[in-house]
């Protein structure tokens, strides 16, 4: 092997070949690598384009999340988005060993039963809530709130929903701002139910949730600490960093090897897999690698002169995320301490010193610690719910896709739409995340968009990023649901429980943004297309529905090739994604082991 290849922590050369090659050493890639190498007879090579993080404070200290900026991220921007006044926005994808879990906000919640039952209803046997719960449990070691927090805040948990021996540390925060109690009272006054533990399938209503944080050191628990550091000494596991997979070698419809290089000018190495190649490059780059390798929509491949290996129109289609409105406001009569204090540099420095001294204070918890996940019947009255759902059901499904979209992709969308509207009508899934950080409004995020975006290469250069088109609000029904979300958010802020705190919403300002038309305009001017949850771009669905993998995670039309990352999710769940990605990867590892 070339001398420049860096097998992390080893003074050895690459093996001649491996049983499994995993493309991408992020969240799902490291999870699957860990599980497959439990069998000492199986060799695994993980090829990661990024490097190890430096474990600096902005990675490890929960309250400093986001502080590494672009250091561990791809530098990617989406196409101008007509649905939001032609604004562009970042495509938020990590580029580092451990992937998204190195940079994420550490909210560690799960979707509701209905979110995952939708996956099964699409034809994926075993991928409903009951099929995934054992893997949610397997992935985590849960630590409930300490007794003093339980006493003061009444935060409960459902023991039957949790795992206590898994690699990822999931711990309840030990610090909350006092105003949070009043926010929960406001939700209650509005009739939003309190869910005692949102991880037990009932992630509907208001609840406190855990962070992926070690309960003792109060530092980030992430794919590197959970699935790499403890097992890196295994002789059958090799991690190669700083190497980008450029193409899959496919011989006679079997994926047999991968090609990779450290830069566009460096020489390329080819290495083969005896059993499988497993794609875990994330929702932006897994479709890119497939398309570069001749697996994707044939019109796209032909336009770039790429020989078509499998015409698979769903590769890069069905792209979903959570469009988000960071509403703004303040409590004019706030309690102390409050998040606003943290903008005072002296106070923030004191709090960091407190964290360093005894691991307490605001820096000890992640950004998100509580939210209300609201159903359509909770944010809109009966008449409005039925008019919204009728509007969606009457739409021509092809009207919201580009003109050349394959009929199978549209058929899959139509099926998704039937299921989504039925689950929405019965309140089995949330459509809105309303997260407060003890401020009168921080995040209103659309959880079940009807618009679909795309990821598509426009170059055969594997080091050029793919084109990201969120196509946010290409289905106007999403704007309509957002209107109800904003009205509902305003109702929460107006509840008597918050009155003494003197809440003011500054964006969207109720004084100037009044009519539905004004709210729509504010939405188009302010909403961003992502909550850093890109997903669904290689969906697990039937091939005739535009699917890319079957329920065994095997790519259609080619042997020896699986996908295990967030791209296989067929419908985005109403939750932050990391705990779901870990559960998917845990299940994927069992599926792959079983066919060994
Ligand atoms: C800024 C941010 C904040 C977030 N906040 C939260 C949160 O608070 N709570 C939550 O639950 N979720 C959050 N998420 C989402 C969650 O972390 C991700 O959904 C999850 O980590 C995705 O896992 P994955 O395995 O699909 O991809 P990733 O973890 O992104 O892994 C993909 C890996 O593949 C590598 N790769 C890509 N292309 C190639 C190639 N050609 N060759 C080799 N390697 C390649 C990448 O470098 C990357 O390391 C956040 C994500 C981000 C980015």
Ligand 1 centroid–CA 395 distance in Å is 34
Per the CB < 8 A criterion, the answer to whether 309 and 293 are in contact is yes
Q: Which residues of 546-574 are buried (b: 16+ CB within 10 A; e: fewer)?
A: bbbbbbebbbbebebbbbbbbbbbbbbbb
Report the residue among 8, 21, 26 best suited for mutation to probe ligand 1: largest number of ligand atoms under 8 A from its CB.
26
Number of Cβ within a 10 Å radius of residue 267: 9
Distances 199 to 370, 389, 575 between C-alpha atoms, Å = 12, 28, 10
Q: Is 576 in the pocket of ligand 1 (CB under 6 A)?
A: yes
Q: Is 240 in the pocket of ligand 1 (CB under 6 A)?
A: no
Q: Is 26 in the pocket of ligand 1 (CB under 6 A)?
A: yes
Lowest mean pLDDT among 276-280, 340-344, 396-400: 340-344
Q: State how beta strands 432-435 and 443-446 pair.
A: antiparallel
Answer whether residue 1 shows pLDDT above 70: no
Ligand 1 centroid–CA 77 distance in Å is 16
- Dihedral angle sign, alpha carbons of residues 527, 532, 537, 540: negative
Residue range 126-147: average pLDDT?
97
pTM of full prediction above 0.80: yes
- Sequence-distant (≥ 6) Cβ neighbours of residue 19 within 8 angstroms: 36, 42, 43, 44, 273, 274, 275, 276
Residue range 458-467: average pLDDT?
98
Ligand 1 centroid–CA 324 distance in Å is 19
Ligand 1 centroid–CA 534 distance in Å is 9
* DSSP collapsed to 3 states, 46-103: EECCCCCCCCCHHHHCHHHCCCCCCCCECCCECCCEHHHCCECCECCCECCCCCHHHH
At 256, give phi and psi (nearest 5°). -115, -25
> pLDDT tens, 60-113?
999 999 999 999 999 999 999 999 999 999 999 999 999 999 999 999 999 999
Answer whether residue 440 shows pLDDT above 60: no
Report the residue among 24, 269, 572 best suited for mutation to probe ligand 1: largest number of ligand atoms under 8 A from its CB.
24
CA distance 591 to 596: 9
CA distance 74 to 363: 26
Packed helices 179-189 and 477-493: angle between N→C axes, nearest 10 degrees: 110
CA distance 42 to 236: 7
Q: What is the widest separation between alpha-carbon atoms in the chain?
A: 71
- Dihedral angle sign, alpha carbons of residues 379, 382, 384, 386: positive
Q: Is 155 in the pocket of ligand 1 (CB under 6 A)?
A: no
CA distance 476 to 265: 45
Positions annotated as catalytic residues are: 533, 576
Q: Is 583 in the pocket of ligand 1 (CB under 6 A)?
A: no
Binding residues for FAD: 27-28, 96, 245
> pLDDT tens, 568-596?
999 999 999 999 999 999 999 999 999 97
Containing 171, the helix (H) or strand (E) segment is strand 168-171
DSSP state of 592: H
Ligand 1 centroid–CA 27 distance in Å is 6
> pLDDT tens, 209-225?
999 999 999 999 999 99
Residue nearest atom 13 of ligand 1, based on CA coordinates: 104
Ligand 1 atom at shortest distance from the alpha carbon of 95: 47
Q: Is 244 in the pocket of ligand 1 (CB under 6 A)?
A: yes
CA distance 97 to 9: 13
Domain layout of the chain by residue ranges? 374-526
Q: Is 388 in the pocket of ligand 1 (CB under 6 A)?
A: no
Answer whether residue 193 shows pLDDT above 70: yes
Closest CA to 65 of 421, 364, 342: 364
Closest CA to 314 of 548, 65, 534: 548
Answer whether residue 169 shows pLDDT above 80: yes
Residue nearest atom 1 of ligand 1, based on CA coordinates: 104
Q: Is 163 in the pocket of ligand 1 (CB under 6 A)?
A: no
Residue nearest atom 31 of ligand 1, based on CA coordinates: 26
CA distance 97 to 44: 16
Per the CB < 8 A criterion, the answer to whether 148 and 156 are in contact is no
Containing 371, the helix (H) or strand (E) segment is strand 370-374
> pLDDT tens, 349-389?
999 999 999 999 999 998 789 999 999 999 999 999 999 99
pLDDT of residue 111: 98
Ligand 1 centroid–CA 516 distance in Å is 36
Residue nearest atom 23 of ligand 1, based on CA coordinates: 27
Answer whether residue 454 shows pLDDT above 90: yes
- Dihedral angle sign, alpha carbons of residues 13, 16, 18, 23: positive
Ligand 1 atom at shortest distance from the alpha carbon of 105: 8
Residue 14 burial (10 A CB sphere; 0-12, 13-18, 19+)? middle
Average of per-residue pLDDT values in the chain: 96
CA distance 269 to 462: 14
Alpha carbon 104 to its chain's center: 9
Ligand 1 atom at shortest distance from the alpha carbon of 93: 53
């Amino acid at each position: 092997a070339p001398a420049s290849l860096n097998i992390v922590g080893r003074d050895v050369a690459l093996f001649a070949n491996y049983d499994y090659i995993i493309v991408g050493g992020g969240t799902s890639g490291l999870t699957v690598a860990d599980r497959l190498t439990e069998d000492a007879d199986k060799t695994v090579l993980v090829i990661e384009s990024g490097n190890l993080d430096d474990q600096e404070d902005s990675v490890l200290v929960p309250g400093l999340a986001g502080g590494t900026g672009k250091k561990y991220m791809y530098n990617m921007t989406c196409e101008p988005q007509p649905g939001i006044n032609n604004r562009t926005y970042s495509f938020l994808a990590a580029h580092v060993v451990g992937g998204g879990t190195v940079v994420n906000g550490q909210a560690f919640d799960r979707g509701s039963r209905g979110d995952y039952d939708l996956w099964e209803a699409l034809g994926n046997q075993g991928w409903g809530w009951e099929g995934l719960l054992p893997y949610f449990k397997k992935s985590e070691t849960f630590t409930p709130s300490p007794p003093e927090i339980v006493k003061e805040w009444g935060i409960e948990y459902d023991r039957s929903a949790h795992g206590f021996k898994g690699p990822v540390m999931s711990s309840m925060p030990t610090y909350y701002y006092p105003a949070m109690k009043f926010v929960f009272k406001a939700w209650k006054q509005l009739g939003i139910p309190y869910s005692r533990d949102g991880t037990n399938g009932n992630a509907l209503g208001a609840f406190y949730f855990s962070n992926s944080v070690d309960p003792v050191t109060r530092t980030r628990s992430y794919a590197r600490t959970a699935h790499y550091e403890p097992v890196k000494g295994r002789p059958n596991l090799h991690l190669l960093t700083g190497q980008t997979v450029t193409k899959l070698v496919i011989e006679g419809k079997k994926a047999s090897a991968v090609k990779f290089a450290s830069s566009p000018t460096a020489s390329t190495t080819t290495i083969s897999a005896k059993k499988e190649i497993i794609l875990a490059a994330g929702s932006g780059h897994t479709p890119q690698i497939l398309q570069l390798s001749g697996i994707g929509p044939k019109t796209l491949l032909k336009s770039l002169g790429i020989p078509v290996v499998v015409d698979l129109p769903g590769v890069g289609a069905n792209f979903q995320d959570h469009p988000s409105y960071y509403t703004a406001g303040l409590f004019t009569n706030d309690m102390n301490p409050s998040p606003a204090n943290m903008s005072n540099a002296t106070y923030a420095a004191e709090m960091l010193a407190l964290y360093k001294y005894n691991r307490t204070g605001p820096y000890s918890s992640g950004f998100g610690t509580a939210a209300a996940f609201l159903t359509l019947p909770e944010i809109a009255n009966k008449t409005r719910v039925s008019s919204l759902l009728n509007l969606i059901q009457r739409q021509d499904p092809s009207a919201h896709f580009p003109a050349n979209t394959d009929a199978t992709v549209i058929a899959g969308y139509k099926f998704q739409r039937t299921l989504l509207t039925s689950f929405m009508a019965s309140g089995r899934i949330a459509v809105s995340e309303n997260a407060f950080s003890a401020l009168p409004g921080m995040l209103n995020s659309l959880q079940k968009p009807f618009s679909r975006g795309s990821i598509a290469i426009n170059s055969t250069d594997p080091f050029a990023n793919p084109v990201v088109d969120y196509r946010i609000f290409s289905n106007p029904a999403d704007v309509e649901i957002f209107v109800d979300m904003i009205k509902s958010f305003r109702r929460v802020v107006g509840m008597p429980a918050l009155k003494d705190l003197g809440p003011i919403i500054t964006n969207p300002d109720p004084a100037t943004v009044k009519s539905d038309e004004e709210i729509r305009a504010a939405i188009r001017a302010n909403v961003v297309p992502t909550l850093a949850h890109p997903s669904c771009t290689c969906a697990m669905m039937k091939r005739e529905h535009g699917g890319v993998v079957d329920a065994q995670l095997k790519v259609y039309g080619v042997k020896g090739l699986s996908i295990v990352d967030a791209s296989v999710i067929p419908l985005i769940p109403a939750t932050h994604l990391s705990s779901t990605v870990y559960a998917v990867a845990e299940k994927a590892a069992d599926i792959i082991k079983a066919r060994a």
